[in-house]
């Protein structure tokens, strides 16, 4: 998965991200700006899950959007 490409398309992906992780606020999604670590951290914070579980969710989600 190419995170440079994801960053470049972040505005188009924000709707899908918000749909997948409905607990994330608009500010959370905007602050992530296509940064994997930032997005993982926001998901951990909002959902109270472990980092490895959040990373797996993010990686699977974007693998399907590649």
Q: To the nearest whole number, what is the mean pLDDT of the chain?
A: 94
The reported pLDDT for the residue numbered 2 is 85
User: For 27-53, what is each residue's pLDDT tens digit?
Assistant: 999 999 999 999 999 999 999 999 999
Number of CB atoms found within 10 A of residue 36's CB: 16
Give me the helices (H) in the chain, please.
3-8, 10-20, 26-32, 36-47, 51-63
The reported pLDDT for the residue numbered 66 is 61
Q: How many CA atoms lie within 13 A of 36 on its CB side?
A: 17
Domain range enclosing 38 = 3-63
Residue in this structure with the two tokens 């951990």, named with its chain if needed: 44
Number of CB atoms found within 10 A of residue 26's CB: 9
Report whether 43 contacts 21 (CB < 8 A): yes
How many domains does the chain fold into?
1
């Amino acid at each position: 998965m190419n995170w440079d490409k994801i960053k470049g398309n972040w505005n188009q992906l924000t709707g899908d991200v918000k749909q997948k992780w409905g607990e994330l606020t608009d500010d959370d999604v905007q602050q992530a700006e296509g940064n994997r670590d930032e997005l993982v951290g926001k998901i951990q914070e909002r959902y109270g899950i472990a980092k490895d579980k959040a990373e797996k969710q993010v990686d699977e989600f974007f693998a399907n959007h590649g």
